[in-house]
Structure 1
Amino acid sequence: MRIPAGWPGPKPCRTLTQLAVLAALVVPPLTGASAMTPPPTLAEVAPSPTSGVALALVLLNDVSKSIDNDEFEMIKNGYRAAFSDPDILAAVQANAGGIAITYVEFSGKDEIVTVKEWSVITDEPSTRAFGDAVAAAPRSSAGNTALAASLRQATYLLTSGNFGTARKVIDIASDHASDFGRSASARDAAVKAGITINALPIVDDHPLGTINGQLTYSANSQRPGGIANFYRREIIGGDGSFVVEARDYRAFSAALKRKLLRELLARRF
C-alpha cells in the first residue's frame, strides 16, 4: 500500500509518564491512613441505633375532618404535656436501651403521613424534644378516616425496621366509631406479625344540631356499647392489648399519659 503524499504519519502513543500524570489529575492518590485502611467489613459497620431498644412504638393519630382545629390543638398539646410529664420521663428511663418511637397522622387512605420519623428516646431531653416536635408540626391532612389503611402502614413501619427483640406496639387514637369491618383483617395481620395494637378512642359527643325538634349528638356516642366497644371488638389485638378511653378532647392529655405508662411499663406488670 502506498502512503499518500503529505501524510504526517501516525500520532505518537502517550508515554507511561504522561498517562501517570493524567491519572493523577483524575483520581488524586491516597495518602496517610486512607492509603492503607481497607473498607469496613459487614461486622465492622455500626449497628442500627434501634436494634437494642426495649420497645418500638408507632403513635398513630387520626386527623380527619371530624376533628376541628380546636380539637387538633388539644391533641397536640396533649402530646407535649405527656412527653414532659415526670412519670413518663421516669418510665422512659426505666427501659434499658431506650424507646424507638415515631408519630404518624392519618385521615384518608392516601393521607397517611409520618410526621416525626423514628427517634430513640432515652432520657429527659430526648423525650421532651420528641413531644415538642410532635406538638409543633402542622396538621398533615383533614380528609376521611381510613383506619384499616393506617393500621397496615403502621404494621409496615414496624416489620420493616431493625428493632431486634423489642416489643412492637401500635397506639391508635381516633374518634371514628366504625369502618364496617375493614380494620379487623388489618388488625389480624399485625397480630400475626407479633405486634400489639392498643387504642385511645375519643368520645366526641358534642351536639351536631337539632333534628325534628330534638338535639342530636355525633354518631359515635350512639352506637351500641359506645365507641370504646368498637375498638375492643375491631381494632385492638395482641399480647396485653387494651383500650383507654378519653371522654372528650379536653381529657385527651390525661388519657394519653395513662396509656403511655401502661405501654412503657408493660413488662413490670
Structure 2
Amino acid sequence: MNALRCLAFSLAVAPPAAACDLALALAVDVSGSVDSREYRIQMDGLAAGLRDPIVSEALVRARAKLMLIQWTGASRQQVTIPWTDMDGFDALEAFAQAVETDHRVWRNFSTAIGEALETTMAAFDAVPDCTRHLIDLSGDGISNEGVEPSRLRRELRARGITVNAIAIEESEPDLTAYFFENVIVGDGAFVVTAAGFRDYPERIRKKLLREVTQQTARLRRTDERFVITLPSR
C-alpha cells in the first residue's frame, strides 16, 4: 500500500476533528502581469486542487476554515471569499465553485507582496480558534511596490502564521529563490515551482496535498489511530 493510500485510509477511519485545526488563506496574484487566461488557469486549477479526494477529505476532517484574497499593488488587496467552515463536503464544493466563479477585482497594477501578506495576516484575527494559521501565496513576480515582504517575517513568525508560496516562473526564472529568501516563513515552510501558468494546476494540487497532509501529520500513534506523513516530492 503506497503512502497516498495509507493516508487516505488513515483519514477515512479517523474521527473528524472536534474543532478547527487549520485556517488556510489562499492569496492569489491578480497583478498586471497576469492576463485573463492566466487568471482563469489559476482559479480553475485552485478549485480542482481543493476537490482532490485526499485534499478535500483532509480539509473536512480538520474542520478547516478557508478564505480567498486577491492581491496586486499597494492598497489593492481584497478578500473576495470570506472565511468559510469546511464542515462537510457540500461546504467544500460550494467553496470550490465560488473560487471558479470569483470575479477578478483588478487587472493593471503592480506587485505588492508585503501588502498582500499584511492584509492576509490581519484577517487571521477572525479565526483565533484554529490551531494552525497558514497563508498559501501564489505569484509570478517579485515585489516591486509597498513594504518589503522580508520585513514582515518576524511578525508573521511571532503570530504563528506559516507562509508557503508557489512561484510561477513564466517570466521570472529566479522567482523560486526570491520567494525562498524573502517570502516564506514558519516551520516547514516551502516554495513550489511552476515553470509557467500551464503547470500551475498540477503544482497547486501537489502544494495543497503537502500543506493539508504533510505539514499537519507526523508518523505517530494517537488515540489508537495512525497519521501518515507523505514523502517529500
TM-score range, shorter chain: 0.7 to 0.9
> Residue 69 of structure 1 corresponds to which residue in structure 2?
36
Deviation at 1:137, TM superposition (A): 1.2
TM value normalised by structure 2: 0.80
Q: Counterparts of 2:105 and 2:175 in 1: how far apart (Å)?
A: 25
Q: Counterparts of 2:41 and 2:130 in 1: how far apart (Å)?
A: 34
- Is 1:135 the counterpart of 2:84? The answer is no
TM value normalised by structure 1: 0.70
Q: Counterparts of 1:165 and 1:56 in 2: how far apart (Å)?
A: 6
> Residue 227 of structure 1 corresponds to which residue in structure 2?
175
> Residue 119 of structure 2 corresponds to which residue in structure 1?
153
- Is 1:85 the counterpart of 2:52? The answer is yes
> Residue 65 of structure 2 corresponds to which residue in structure 1?
100
Select the structure of larger CA radius of gyration: 1
- Is 1:267 the counterpart of 2:197? The answer is no
- Is 1:244 the counterpart of 2:211? The answer is no
Deviation at 1:260, TM superposition (A): 1.0
Q: Percent identity?
A: 26
Q: Structure 1: where are the runs of 5+ without partners? A: 1-50, 205-217
Structure 2 vs 1, CA of residues 124 and 165 (structure 1 numbering), >3 Å: closer, same or farther? closer
Q: Counterparts of 2:175 and 2:49 in 1: how far apart (Å)?
A: 23
Structure 2 vs 1, CA of residues 234 and 87 (structure 1 numbering), >3 Å: closer, same or farther? same
Q: How many residues align?
A: 198
Deviation at 1:82, TM superposition (A): 1.2
Deviation at 1:76, TM superposition (A): 1.2
Secondary structure at the aligned position of 1:101 is classed as strand
Structure 2 vs 1, CA of residues 178 and 113 (structure 1 numbering), >3 Å: closer, same or farther? closer
8 Å contact from structure 2 (residues 138, 165) kept in 1: yes
Greater relative contact order (Cα < 8 A, sep 6+):
2
**Residue 199 (structure 1) aligned to one of 165, 169, 183:** 165
8 Å contact from structure 2 (residues 143, 149) kept in 1: no
- CA RMSD, 1 decimal: 1.7
Cα deviations across residues 71-93 of structure 1 (Å, max 9, x unaligned)? 11111111221122222222223
